[in-house]
């Protein structure tokens, strides 16, 4: 199987037409050092502090290295280590969801400008930002190949931005993209224990996987039908941190869950103590067309090649 290296689209940032052309050819865009490294490390530090306070990190190693306290991680149940595909128990994840600095990433002007270039119209971030804190637990499941539309629905024009929260080389389990695969449309699925619970069935589609070693500050963004998967974490003892941010054109429909917190939390409890009002409930003034979640699209396709 041929594996391609990601194309760095940084040189296209000043050229919306060229950016749109690449986005529609490949179904993804990768940018080296899109964010200053320090901005990402600030989020990393905040999340690792939460893990550390829970005794889940090795205190003999500098915090930012993100090395697990393996004995404590081993004590987590399989359910806690895989809760909602985020890698940590519900109460630990609540603290991550309460971080203003985490949610603020989706509102970075440079990111919004990027989506406005891709869409050729005003873009809006979904407030439902997702953190992944993949601990080196023996029952941690690697995210299988899938298309995000199955989970998000609303608009096909929703793009995910996967942001490694630290350096994430392939050996730590970065994200890999099936280049051009969004053109295949919505694929059939089968059950998988990894994040999202559904694996897309890839029947000799003829596309090739692209991957790379991410550094803090790099991002990859992709169309809601682009097939992607995580690589297995092969680095003993290391936590893999990342987040998924989602964007769509303002004029496109949205499914209600995209406006809800990720997890059984209320915005009110998550927003407690935040300093920036503009990051809170910012979508409430938008006259979205709302769609209903359609459970049937997750299973209606043939399950075999």
Query: Site residues (CB under 6 A) for ligand AKG?
Result: 132, 143, 148, 160, 162, 175, 195, 228, 230, 242, 244
CB of 173 to ligand AKG, least distance (A): 7
Residue whose CB is less far from ligand AKG, 18 or 230: 230
Beta bridge partners of 243: 131, 163
Residues 3/208, Cβ–Cβ less than 8 Å = yes
CB of 275 to ligand AKG, least distance (A): 28
The CB density around residue 10, as the number of other CB atoms within 10 Å, is 14
CB of 191 to ligand AKG, least distance (A): 16
CB of 47 to ligand AKG, least distance (A): 14
Residue whose CB is less far from ligand AKG, 62 or 187: 187
CB of 60 to ligand AKG, least distance (A): 27
Residue whose CB is less far from ligand AKG, 194 or 217: 194
Tell me the chain's radius of gyration from C-alpha atoms. Answer: 18
Q: How far apart are the first and last CA of the chain?
A: 19
Residues whose CB falls within 8 Å of the CB of residue 49, separated by 6 or more in sequence, listed in order:
63
d(CA 193, CA 143): 8
| Phi and psi, residue 131, nearest 5° | -105, 145
Residue whose CB is less far from ligand AKG, 215 or 274: 215
**33, 145, 166, 210, 279 from 229: Cα distances, Å:** 22, 4, 18, 11, 30
Residue whose CB is less far from ligand AKG, 181 or 242: 242
The CB density around residue 218, as the number of other CB atoms within 10 Å, is 25
d(CA 213, CA 260): 32
CB of 18 to ligand AKG, least distance (A): 25
Residues 228/29, Cβ–Cβ less than 8 Å = no
Residues whose CB falls within 8 Å of the CB of residue 294, separated by 6 or more in sequence, listed in order:
153
Which tokens in the block code for residue 108? Answer: 């970075």
CB of 272 to ligand AKG, least distance (A): 26
Residue whose CB is less far from ligand AKG, 16 or 263: 263
Residue whose CB is less far from ligand AKG, 211 or 244: 244
């Amino acid at each position: 199987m041929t594996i391609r290296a990601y194309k760095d689209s940084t040189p296209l940032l000043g050229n919306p037409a060229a950016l749109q052309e690449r986005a529609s050819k490949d179904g993804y865009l990768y940018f080296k050092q899109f964010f200053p490294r320090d901005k990402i490390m600030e989020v990393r530090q905040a999340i690792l502090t939460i893990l550390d306070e829970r005794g889940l990190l090795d205190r003999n190693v500098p915090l930012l290295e993100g090395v697990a306290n393996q004995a404590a991680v081993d004590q987590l149940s399989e359910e806690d280590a895989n809760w909602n595909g985020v890698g940590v128990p519900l109460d630990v994840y609540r603290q991550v969801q309460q971080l203003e600095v985490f949610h603020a990433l989706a509102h970075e002007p440079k990111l919004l400008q990027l989506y406005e270039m891709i869409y050729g119209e005003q873009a809006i971030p979904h407030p439902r930002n997702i953190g992944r804190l993949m601990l080196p637990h023996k029952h941690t499941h690697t995210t299988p190949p899938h298309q995000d539309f199955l989970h998000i629905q609303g608009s096909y024009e929703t793009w995910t931005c996967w942001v490694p929260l630290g350096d994430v080389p392939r050996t730590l389990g970065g994200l890999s993209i099936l280049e051009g695969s969004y053109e295949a449309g919505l694929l059939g699925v089968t059950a998988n224990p990894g994040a999202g619970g559904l694996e897309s069935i890839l029947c000799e589609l003829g596309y090739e996987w692209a991957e790379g070693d991410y550094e803090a500050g790099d991002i990859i963004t992709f169309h809601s039908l682009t097939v992607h998967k995580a690589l297995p974490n092969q680095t003993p003892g290391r936590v893999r941190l990342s987040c998924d941010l989602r964007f769509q054109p303002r004029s496109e429909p949205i499914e209600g869950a995209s406006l809800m917190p990720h997890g059984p939390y209320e915005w009110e409890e998550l927003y407690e103590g935040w300093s920036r009002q503009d990051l809170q409930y910012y979508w409430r003034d938008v006259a979205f067309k709302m769609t209903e979640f359609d459970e049937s699209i997750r299973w209606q396709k043939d399950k075999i090649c």
